[in-house]
Amino acid sequence: MTSDGSQSFRQKIVPFRLNEAQKILYRRVRACRSENKPVRFLIPKARKQGVTTFVQGLFFERLFRLDHEEAAVVAHNQESSAYIFQITRRFYDYMPENMRRPLKYSAKTELEYQEPHASKYMVLTAKSGDALAKGTTPTLFHGSEVANWADQGADPWKAWTSIASAIPDHRDTAIILESTAKGREAFFYRMVMGAIKGDNDYEVVFLPWYLTTKYSRPITEKGFALTDEEKHIQSETDETADHLITDEQFHYRRWCIANKCGGDVSIWNRYYPTTLRDCFAVSEKKFFGEDVKEHYRNMIRQPKVTGDMGITDQGNPIFEPNTHGSIQIWEKPISREKYVLSLDVSEGIPGGDYHSGYLLKRSDITAVAAIHCSVDSDELTDQEYRMGLWYNKAQIAVENNCNPEVCRRLSYHLRYPNMFWYRDINTPRGRAQRPGWNTNVKTRREMLDVLKMVTRQKMLNIYDEEFVEEMEDFAWNMSARKWQAVSGKHDDRLMSMAIGLMLLDLHPYKDHADRMRPNVDDGMRRYKAFSKYWDKKLMVKLKKRTMTFG
């Protein structure tokens, strides 16, 4: 202990004794071996829990014991690679001399035993990309800090596919990917979420900060008491993880947030997560509250059917089921029900947003169908046209900013009978200017206000999991000075939903009390007004031509 009562962690060589986090991993490895399963771990974790040291010790023992084994370690940069290699080299150097196997080759990032043993250890970096580990056949693989693999501009999926293709599939292999999470980035987060959903064969082993005993600090001040937030965290971990966080650990948490995290709790949650959700939380200022996101997480359910819209020989729209289709259906059309179909059209930029839209039921604001695809304008227009007709001629509002071709074809070529025509939002009684919805600085602010109000009051009913995923990634961008998806993520579903909600707000369902809002843009109403105007004008002319006799 130091003079101020804090623990002193001086670096020195000591016998390898497993800490609590390492014991958890060791038990999981033993369980896989007893079940004759290959080790496939994804490890979201807090900082400095000894995971890298444990994995290197596990691999070193295997290489020392068995012949013709290969272990590969991939780090996010060259410095980390050299540091990790020193761990393995230290294991070898501190073995008794009579136990050491003779080395054939030893360099800064590679170690190989002489024949006939011939096991090999190598450390690589993710920046090798598609060429990673080609020409090798590793049976043991350790991916270190995989959430940072894309830091140097490399594609982590290319590196992963290259190394994963080189690893045999038999039960004696091991793949361990570990990292302190970095928000909802494109690789590690997707791997973890895929494992939780059962989309891949990996096991998620989450290691929270409170498992590490060094993350505690003696309480010296009088009157120390837990805050309401800390009490909630303590009760939650006690119920879900069967672990009681001590007051000394909460004291360390407060000290670390103030001294290492700049007073920002979101930074603490990233580097020292308490729950798996904390690992991948967006650190920026969030648009949706946690209670709102939790509400919509609980509403998620799979669509009843997926497919595309087709057309019969008689010209009627028909839904054609297809597992790879772009349209998801949660509820089929109800007779005499009114619907709104909104669409956020992609700009066509590689890596940009997709075409995305929702079909809302007016009576209870329920998203009964969704479309999400990346197709050309002609095919998208056909899908929208048929989908709108199938849902009782739903009112269609297509964003007309970047790609007006869809609006033009729906309105003038296909002559869809219920298109939305844009008016200036500040003059709702003004004349309709053009078909489709125009998203600009003025309307975008109004759209997001309506979206936030409807979700905060739990008025919207939506079951789409991807919509909730985009809610997690929607935050304030300091440089752009606006709400948008964080870097590498998309917000097309949120914006298309906001367009649909604006239509419901401008045209309320069976609400004729508010005379400040415009009536439904009905073609028959406009025709009658047109006829009345010309009839009146014709009568004036007839009166002027009337002759009178005295």
What are phi and psi for residue 246, nearest 5 degrees?
-80, 165
Model confidence at 441: pLDDT above 70: yes
Separation of alpha carbons 211 and 375, rounded Å:
49
Q: How far apart are CA 21 and CA 23, in angstroms?
A: 5
Q: Which single residue is written with the structure tokens 């054939």?
A: 104
Which residue would you say has higher pLDDT here, 536 or 320? 320
pLDDT of 156 reads: 87
Residue 341: the pLDDT is 94
Give residue 401's region: left, alpha or beta (phi > 0; psi -120 to 50): alpha
For 126-277, where are the E strands, in sequence order? 140-144, 174-179, 203-204
pLDDT value of residue 4: 39
Collect all residues with Cβ–Cβ distance below 8 Å to 468 and sequence separation of at least 6.
Answer: 293, 296, 297, 300
Mean pLDDT of 314-338: 91
If phi > 0 it is left, if psi is from -120 to 50 it is alpha, else beta; for residue 482 that is beta
Tell whether the model's pLDDT for residue 110 goes beyond 70.
Answer: yes
Q: What is the model's pLDDT at position 349?
A: 55
pLDDT tens-digit profile of 116-151?
A: 888 888 888 887 777 777 778 899 999 999 888 887
Output the furthest CA–CA distance in the chain (Å, rounded). 141
Q: Where are the alpha helices (DSSP H) in 335-404?
A: 377-390
Stretch (H or E) spanning 448: helix 441-456
Q: What pLDDT score was predicted for residue 528? A: 63
| pLDDT of 514 | 38
Instruction: Give me the residue spans of the domains in the chain.
Output: 20-207, 228-283, 305-524
DSSP for residue 317: E
Three-state DSSP at 507 gives: coil
Q: Is the pLDDT of residue 550 over 80?
A: no
**pLDDT band with cut points at 50, 70 and 90 for residue 20:** very high
Helix spans in 220-367 (H)? 228-240, 247-259, 265-271, 276-279, 290-297
- Split at pLDDT 50, 70, 90, the class of 9 is low
CATH code of the domain occupying 305-524: 3.30.420.240
Determine which of 20-34, 62-76, 139-153, 336-350 has the lowest per-residue pLDDT on average: 336-350
Residue 424 scores a pLDDT above 60: yes
- 88 within 8 A of 59, measured Cβ to Cβ: yes
What is the CATH code for 20-207? 3.40.50.300
Beta bridge partners of 134: none
pLDDT tens figures, 386-407: 999 999 999 999 988 877 788 8
- Check: CB of residue 132 under 8 Å from CB of residue 163: yes
Whether the link from the prior residue into 116 is cis, omega within 30° of 0, is: yes
pTM of the full structure: 0.68
Q: Which token pair is 441?
A: 């600085």
Residue 311 CB burial class (10 angstroms; 0-12, 13-18, ≥19)? middle
d(CA 183, CA 44): 11
Instruction: Quote the DSSP letter at residue 168.
Output: -
d(CA 356, CA 375): 11
The first and second tokens of residue 96, run together, are 């008794």
184: its two tokens: 């909802």
- DSSP character at residue 412: I
Q: Give the strand pairing for 421-422 and 366-373.
A: unpaired
Q: Give pLDDT, residue 1.
A: 35
Is residue 354 predicted with pLDDT exceeding 60? yes
Bridge partners, residue 475, by sequence: 286, 484
Per-residue confidence band for 57, with pLDDT thresholds at 50, 70 and 90: very high
Q: Taking the CB of residue 139, how many other CB atoms lie within 10 A of it?
A: 22
Indicate the length of the chain as a whole number: 550
Alpha-carbon gap, residue 390 to 327, rounded angstroms = 13
CA 35 vs. chain centroid, Å, equals 33
Beta-ladder partners of 359: 341, 369
Q: Would you state the structure tokens that stand for residue 161, as one six-digit string?
A: 């596919």
pLDDT of amino acid 369 = 95
- For residue 77, give both structure tokens: 């940069």
- List the single range of 220-224, 271-275, 526-530 with lowest mean pLDDT: 526-530
The closest alpha carbon to 399, from 503, 288, 519, belongs to 503
At 376, is the pLDDT very low, low, confident or very high (cuts 50, 70, 90)? confident
Listed in sequence order, the residues at least 6 apart from 357 whose beta carbon sits closer than 8 Å to its beta carbon are: 341, 342, 343, 344, 370, 371, 372, 384, 496
Mean pLDDT of 21-27: 93
Confidence at 446, pLDDT banded by 50, 70, 90: confident
Whether 96 contacts 108, CB under 8 Å: no
Rounded to an integer, the average pLDDT of 175-192 is 87
Q: What are the C-alpha distances in Å from 476 to residues 187, 279, 353, 488?
A: 23, 19, 18, 14
Q: What is the pLDDT of residue 509?
A: 39
